[in-house]
Structure 1
């Protein structure tokens, strides 16, 4: 289907979603929508109370989170209009999907891929504990050696400096560095690769593999990442750097490939129990962190924008997608030349509800993009989570970006290549459908 046809489908499906409600629901459709929004508000409030309380209040809040959407469905069913709501939601989902598809073709291309020759002396570091033992389960070391790579499997019984291992490999003639491990290990070796301007290779053997996801790599089967050794292309991407105290060279400091977090999340990451039981640790610590004023008050300066007292701040190497209000999803590009900044300041259930319903338009969330971010505090040191690892750094902490600093070698064919789909924009979809229609009509008249 052409872009014009897809845009028209989006408009038709959106109109049909509203028409179904009006025709079959009548005046009751307004009540249905009101009930739906009330259910969302109660669910958001319940989630906030779950995060900020313990004991019986948390139990009641959890019940509210479950009961609110179920209650909405029961109201719809009792009115005999559940099918109307489901059909309307289905049509609306089709409208949004078609609208985004119509806009994709007009967006800038994804990260530029460059053809490269095969590396002669690749050197790979593998952590056997990452991802619950993916290195052994997928026979990554054996497969990499069969493809001509030198492989060092880390010894779990002793601490080894991966930065030193990578530096020695470069001195010995390695012309590619790679890591099968978590994002923290990836960042350490990526810094060495950037310093020597040699390609870096990511093998998705970690637990969450955020960096691998943004590169479009296969996170289910890390052995497919090894195809970069024989049939690879190269991307030039940005690197984030942290500096504690006085300003420094943008290409020095602690590297982060994903993000650096400050405030609530950084405090949680500092807990010794976090690595063993992340979910339980978060639930136990969040109530005090969110509701009780601590001795540390953050101040974030991103270009001309200053944010005082946010509960949490996330600085990312390239911004997260616009629809991702929590910075937990995907970055559409890794070569935009800008840092992403998200600051959260939510003080009550009403603000939490607004944040859930309005996303980045909510008052509790501030989003920005910039080349440098300065995080200061009324304390000499602050906890910082860097790619999920806990640090304590002296203030102020400066986050900088080195554009195009890292050459990344990836397989030519990757299952999750970002398509750079833009956020939904109904005005653009309508203009696309109508304008292209008029152009076609004009050509036909000629």
Structure 2
């Protein structure tokens, strides 16, 4: 077993540096403002709270009130900065922020080595003999054509079907027929919604699945460590690949690889106007959705907890990292065997400001569970499944299927930055001042 003492020493040094920088971050303002530093801190926090509350007013209002709220969103932080400049401490505040950012970076670097996310285990994989790939030419603004994905895949021995945008096809049926015809790998070049449809077939038949990051966002590809800027690199999995076992989520009978959303977002994507003008449609519909004048009243049951009346619910295939309450960043792993469940309940501007506390805010409920049941006061619930709009009969059951999907990825891939660990200050102190850090 390799000696990890040097790694442990490096983590302790980073933890001590983080604590020292955190303490030093308070000094510039104290030295520049003296006793006024407490008042300046209160002023900054108040400005941030007002700006956050103004965001809530902007989202839940129309007309002139929305315009005034938009002005306040900008004016509140600007007023704080101007105040700091007038009293001559702006330089000290900026220096404190830089030191604090360095402290946070050092702290996360220290914690990332102790009990942080570990990559999903890789297994050797033989080159597929009959790979079958489905490609959506419209995904990602035309990445399939721009990166010559179909031609490159065929050169590597794959059977490729490029979808006709004007002739909708049943992708799951295409994948099933391919397996019956002898396909020993299924792959998709497209968005996450398309990926999920074929991934469900691959999981059911225990056939390896290959992700080609040709969609717009491709969160699933990101968490697999694939290069989203050049989807052609994903094709390396055909010739020099390894296999991962990852979880999939199910909402009803539908597979999802990222999230199933309920409430405000799900209702917005159901609108026929959403595809034509996403921003305008969202701003038009949100006031009624967030204030309860439109949309179903939801109830969520998961892990022995009941969330009553949330405006939005996000159920994810594995939980998103702790510093990302909206579930828009990265997951630490895809094989934890649990769903992430996030409920947002915000009834007023005060609660909206309280969400500055992240997952500790009163308007957020974050859970992990093997199953979540979402009920409503209507017979059918709008659901957004990996960005696709569905309507399912209530109650809707979401569940995790641990290790259900075999994913083929390139052996050599640019994995990108690791998910940031939650900054746990007590744990950081233990790591800095005890021999084993109390984290192993």
What TM-score range do you get, normalising by the shorter chain? over 0.9
- Comparing 232-241 with 21-30, greater Cα deviation is found at 21-30
Match of 2:138 among 126, 129, 146: 129
Rounded to whole Å, the distance in 1 between the matches of 2:53 and 2:283 is 16
Rounded to whole Å, the distance in 1 between the matches of 2:231 and 2:312 is 33
Q: Secondary structure at the match of 2:340?
A: strand
Is 1:96 equivalent to 2:95 in the alignment?
A: no
- Comparing 161-170 with 102-111, greater Cα deviation is found at 102-111
Is 1:20 equivalent to 2:56 in the alignment?
A: no
In structure 1, the residue matched to 2:393 is 394
Q: Is the 8 A contact 1:103 1:421 kept in 2?
A: no
Rounded to whole Å, the distance in 1 between the matches of 2:411 and 2:32 is 51
In structure 2, the residue matched to 1:30 is 38
In structure 2, the residue matched to 1:197 is 206
Q: Secondary structure at the match of 2:204?
A: helix
Residues 17-166 of structure 1 aligned to structure 2 (within 5 Å): 17-108=25-116, 109-166=118-175
Rounded to whole Å, the distance in 2 between the matches of 1:319 and 1:437 is 28
In structure 1, the residue matched to 2:338 is 338
Is 1:8 equivalent to 2:7 in the alignment?
A: no
* Aligned-residue offset at 1:423: 0.6
Rounded to whole Å, the distance in 2 between the matches of 1:366 and 1:67 is 30
1:385-429 CA distance string (max 9 Å, x none): 111111111111101111000001111233235635421011111
Residues 148-227 of structure 1 aligned to structure 2 (within 5 Å): 148-227=157-236
Q: Secondary structure at the match of 2:18?
A: helix
In structure 2, the residue matched to 1:284 is 284
1:301-333 CA distance string (max 9 Å, x none): 102111111111111111111111111221111
Q: Secondary structure at the match of 2:383?
A: strand
1:108-155 CA distance string (max 9 Å, x none): 522111121211211110000011111011111111111221111001
* Aligned-residue offset at 1:438: 11
Q: Is the 8 A contact 1:110 1:420 kept in 2?
A: no
In structure 2, the residue matched to 1:407 is 406
Q: Secondary structure at the match of 1:159?
A: coil
Rounded to whole Å, the distance in 2 between the matches of 1:437 and 1:81 is 41
Rounded to whole Å, the distance in 2 between the matches of 1:292 and 1:119 is 52
- Going from structure 1 to structure 2, the CA distance change for 1:400 and 1:364 (only over 3 Å counts) comes to same
Rounded to whole Å, the distance in 1 between the matches of 2:105 and 2:351 is 29
* Aligned-residue offset at 1:231: 1.9
* TM-score for the superposition, normalised by structure 2: 0.94
Rounded to whole Å, the distance in 2 between the matches of 1:49 and 1:7 is 40
- Comparing 412-421 with 64-73, greater Cα deviation is found at 412-421
Q: Which runs of 5+ in 2 are unaligned?
A: 1-8
In structure 2, the residue matched to 1:436 is 435
Q: Is the 8 A contact 1:113 1:233 kept in 2?
A: yes
Rounded to whole Å, the distance in 2 between the matches of 1:166 and 1:242 is 20
Is 1:234 equivalent to 2:261 in the alignment?
A: no
Q: CA RMSD in A?
A: 1.6
* Aligned-residue offset at 1:294: 3.5
- Going from structure 1 to structure 2, the CA distance change for 1:188 and 1:11 (only over 3 Å counts) comes to same
In structure 1, the residue matched to 2:351 is 351
Q: Secondary structure at the match of 1:2?
A: helix
Is 1:298 equivalent to 2:298 in the alignment?
A: yes
Rounded to whole Å, the distance in 1 between the matches of 2:416 and 2:123 is 15
Rounded to whole Å, the distance in 2 between the matches of 1:275 and 1:110 is 36
Q: Is the 8 A contact 2:29 2:89 kept in 1?
A: no
Q: Which runs of 5+ in 1 are unaligned?
A: 244-252, 440-446
Q: Is the 8 A contact 1:215 1:417 kept in 2?
A: no
Is 1:375 equivalent to 2:374 in the alignment?
A: yes
Rounded to whole Å, the distance in 2 between the matches of 1:421 and 1:328 is 13
Q: Secondary structure at the match of 1:436?
A: coil
- Going from structure 1 to structure 2, the CA distance change for 1:417 and 1:231 (only over 3 Å counts) comes to farther
* Aligned-residue offset at 1:207: 1.1
Rounded to whole Å, the distance in 2 between the matches of 1:227 and 1:24 is 57
Rounded to whole Å, the distance in 2 between the matches of 1:216 and 1:71 is 42
Q: Is the 8 A contact 2:430 2:437 kept in 1?
A: no
Rounded to whole Å, the distance in 1 between the matches of 2:21 and 2:203 is 48
Q: Is the 8 A contact 1:111 1:334 kept in 2?
A: yes
* TM-score for the superposition, normalised by structure 1: 0.93
